[in-house]
Chain A
Amino acid sequence: MVERTPILNFFTHLILFVGFIFCVAPFVIVAIAASHNLKDVNDVPMSLLPGSDFWVNIKTAWTTADLGPKLLNSFIMAFGVAAGKVIISALTAFSIVYFRYPGRMLIFWLIFITLMLPLEVRIVPTYAVVANVFEPYQTIMDLTGLSWLIEKLSGVQVQLSLGLLNSYSGLILPLVATATGTFLYRQFFLTVPDELTEAARMDGAGALRFFVDILLPLSRNNMAALGTIMFLWAWNQYLWPLLITTDQSHAMAVTELKQLIPNVGGAPEWHIAMAGTLIVMLPPLFVVVLMQRWFVRGLIATEK
């Protein structure tokens, strides 16, 4: 709608404002709760005027949940996942858009279908593979009798094993494949004029050279958008890190928040829990603010 009247303006702003309140209210409440002391936070209803214990609570939360190393872990994992996704999906989309080979569309649709199979659905097989990366190969070798043959011939029993539990690779690799990213890049690559590809061929650039010198710089905005979304997504992962990190040194900030939630019978220290939440929320917020400019450009119209 391009109509502009004072009344309409008023109503659109009203709707925007209500939406804004809805989005921001939980955060405000978290921040206020984080500033109360034990007594005030448990008042019903809780006072919406900020208390004075904000920094004390932040400090307590930080030390209780040992958030320093956990935040670092979270950052490594989220960054690794985001970077991995950005690279892998760029390569996949490049192959699908720029090369003609049999089964190309089939592969594309197979990738696309994985959108319907999020990690939560395939978590058991994924866990099995991460527990021993060679498990599938071992199974194949056992079933085909290959391992039996090798044992007979050389006397060596084949037992392939590479466990990735409690490791960064185990945390990151299973999350790296992405259909969304591939699709985003594909749509962008399709808008790159063919003449540019041909000009690069005339200039003598091979496929990989074209990819690195021309396509990647042109998809900067895409990369920023995808990287931001995926960083947030990875940062907020809960189930996967919870499942495969039994060792405290690899625990994530998001999963460790659980430690701050008051137990039954314990003191109802919700102010500490809220302070911890606030800390864990900050890095993604920072990333969004930092990347917002490119992020928006990457998701809307293409540059000419």
Chain B
Amino acid sequence: MASITIRGVKKNYAKTQVVHGVDLDFTSGEFVVILGPSGCGKSTLLRMIAGLEEISDGTIAIDGKVVNKLEPRERGCAMVFQNYALYPHMSVAQNIGYSLKVAGVPSAERAQRIQAVARVLELEHLLDRKPMALSGGQRQRVAMGRAMIREPKVFLFDEPLSNLDAKLRVQMRSEIRKLHRRLNATSVFVTHDQVEAMTLADRLVVMNAGRVEQVGTPAEVYSRPASRFVATFVGAPAMNMLEGEVTLDGVSLLGGSRKLNVSRAGLSVGAKVAVGVRPEAMRMVAPGTPGALEATVDLIEELGAGRVIYVDLDGAPFSIVTSEIVHPEPGSTVGLQFTESDLHFFSSETGGRLDVFRASVPEPALQG
């Protein structure tokens, strides 16, 4: 168990900077997920913690000790790789025990510890097999066993589930979670899959373009996204965004064709804003309901438990998630309603969150 302190960490490759000064604190025993699109620098950050990439600037400390110059093996980290990276010529037992062999642990003790790890991961019957003869999920488990056997202070996961099929991924997800509860080692998990991130994380770090956009619990990140990027990246389908301009009595949307009655406290007149609302926060009502917003149905995606309805709002795409069993015809007109407290405001310039005082006016907040 160990805490990790990251201060002003940057990474340059030749002339391009890929990580622009990251500050993070992971507490002992925490399961942190770093979420971001590909190329956002999340893997690079993880590899800098592991010691596989040099740190261009700033410091990383594990348990208060700066590890910038330490070799990976001296940092007490273990890593699970995306492609498992099992040694193809070694058996499962040899793969799991390799780090102990390198460390010079006597073979009797080694065998005993391999057995113990194999028992936890239910790999006992596979110990003599070569990685080639294993399924994806089994290889994944061997990769985890290889990390576990060293009893590391920190577990690092580099998109370990992205090569598995959907069903196995869900299963491995809960296994990783259980394993963490059992070992209670500080874990850093990198992924671009938001479902993975939301379900696994104690705390979520959302990264974009080499910067940390937001740090918080999954619920916080979902309900109070700190930036427009986070708002659209977390949640599926993505949050609906409408461009607008602050006027004297509210926000004018979509070039003035719609209007939103909110008190503009905190917003200056003329400021460009983006107004976001989650598809789950929308309700569908009969067209013509007073105050409801009218839109044309484009497409319906049936999900079984619910359905996503894509509508067209004066040319802007909009989506609604509903669990009601409704099947509006594509091309028909529907009414949309939502509560004002479900609205998110972001600055169009900086993309940052704007905390607008909620208007006292109850729904409907949007007028057609």
Q: Which residues of A contact B (CB under 8 A)?
A: 193, 195-196, 198-205, 209, 213-214, 217-218, 303-304
**Contacts A/B (CB < 8 Å), 20 sampled:** A195-B81, A195-B82, A195-B85, A196-B85, A196-B87, A198-B52, A199-B81, A199-B87, A200-B98, A201-B52, A201-B72, A202-B50, A202-B72, A202-B99, A204-B102, A209-B102, A213-B98, A214-B87, A218-B89, A304-B132
Q: Are A198 and B81 in contact, with the CB atoms below 8 A? A: yes
Q: Which B99-146 residues have a C-beta within 8 angstroms of A?
A: 99, 102-103, 132, 146
With a cutoff of 8 Å between Cβ atoms, the chain B residues found around residue A193 in the complex are: 83, 85
With a cutoff of 8 Å between Cβ atoms, the chain A residues found around residue B72 in the complex are: 201-202, 204
Which residue of A203, A214, A217, A218 contacts B99 across the interface (Cβ within 8 Å)?
Answer: A203
Nearest residue (CB) in B for A218 is: B89
Q: How far is the CA of A202 from the CA of B157 in the complex (A)?
A: 12
With a cutoff of 8 Å between Cβ atoms, the chain B residues found around residue A195 in the complex are: 81-83, 85
With a cutoff of 8 Å between Cβ atoms, the chain A residues found around residue B50 in the complex are: 202
Which residue of B51, B78, B83, B89 contacts A217 across the interface (Cβ within 8 Å)?
Answer: B89
With a cutoff of 8 Å between Cβ atoms, the chain B residues found around residue A218 in the complex are: 88-89
B181 interfacial contact with A, CB 8 Å:
no
Most chain B beta-carbon neighbours within 10 Å: one of A199, A213, A214: A199
Q: How far is the CA of A21 from the CA of B218 in the complex (A)?
A: 75
Which residue of B73, B83, B103 contacts A201 across the interface (Cβ within 8 Å)?
Answer: B73
Q: Are A205 and B88 in contact, with the CB atoms below 8 A? A: no
Which residue of A196, A202, A209 contacts B78 across the interface (Cβ within 8 Å)?
Answer: A202
B77 interfacial contact with A, CB 8 Å:
yes
Nearest residue (CB) in B for A210 is: B102
B131-173 vs A, Cβ < 8 Å mask (1 yes, 0 no): 0100000000000001000100000000000000000000000
Most chain A beta-carbon neighbours within 10 Å: one of B71, B77, B81, B82: B81
- Beyond A199-B86, A203-B99, 12 extra complex contacts between A and B, CB < 8 Å: A193-B85, A195-B81, A198-B79, A199-B79, A199-B81, A199-B85, A200-B98, A204-B73, A205-B98, A217-B89, A304-B88, A304-B132
- Closest chain-A Cβ to B278's Cβ sits at a distance in Å of 38
- Closest chain-B Cβ to A294's Cβ sits at a distance in Å of 14
Q: How far is the CA of A115 from the CA of B81 in the complex (A)?
A: 40
With a cutoff of 8 Å between Cβ atoms, the chain B residues found around residue A304 in the complex are: 88, 132
Q: How far is the CA of A193 from the CA of B85 in the complex (A)?
A: 8
Q: How far is the CA of A303 from the CA of B102 in the complex (A)?
A: 25
Q: How far is the CA of A209 from the CA of B77 in the complex (A)?
A: 19
Q: Are A203 and B83 in contact, with the CB atoms below 8 A? A: no
Q: How far is the CA of A195 from the CA of B50 in the complex (A)?
A: 13
Which residue of A196, A202, A213 contacts B79 across the interface (Cβ within 8 Å)?
Answer: A202
With a cutoff of 8 Å between Cβ atoms, the chain A residues found around residue B150 in the complex are: 203
With a cutoff of 8 Å between Cβ atoms, the chain B residues found around residue A209 in the complex are: 102
Nearest residue (CB) in B for A192 is: B88
Q: How far is the CA of A198 from the CA of B71 in the complex (A)?
A: 12
With a cutoff of 8 Å between Cβ atoms, the chain A residues found around residue B98 in the complex are: 200, 203, 205, 213
Q: Are B89 and A203 in contact, with the CB atoms below 8 A? A: no
Q: How far is the CA of A214 from the CA of B90 in the complex (A)?
A: 9
Q: Are B78 and A303 in contact, with the CB atoms below 8 A? A: no
- Closest chain-B Cβ to A266's Cβ sits at a distance in Å of 58
Q: Are A203 and B88 in contact, with the CB atoms below 8 A? A: no
5 closest residue pairs by CB, A with B = A204-B73, A195-B85, A203-B99, A199-B85, A217-B89
With a cutoff of 8 Å between Cβ atoms, the chain A residues found around residue B52 in the complex are: 198, 201-202
With a cutoff of 8 Å between Cβ atoms, the chain A residues found around residue B73 in the complex are: 201-204
Q: How far is the CA of A91 from the CA of B50 in the complex (A)?
A: 28
Nearest residue (CB) in B for A203 is: B99
Which residue of B82, B87, B88, B99 contacts A204 across the interface (Cβ within 8 Å)?
Answer: B99
Q: Are A205 and B85 in contact, with the CB atoms below 8 A? A: no
Which residue of B82, B102, B132 contacts A203 across the interface (Cβ within 8 Å)?
Answer: B102
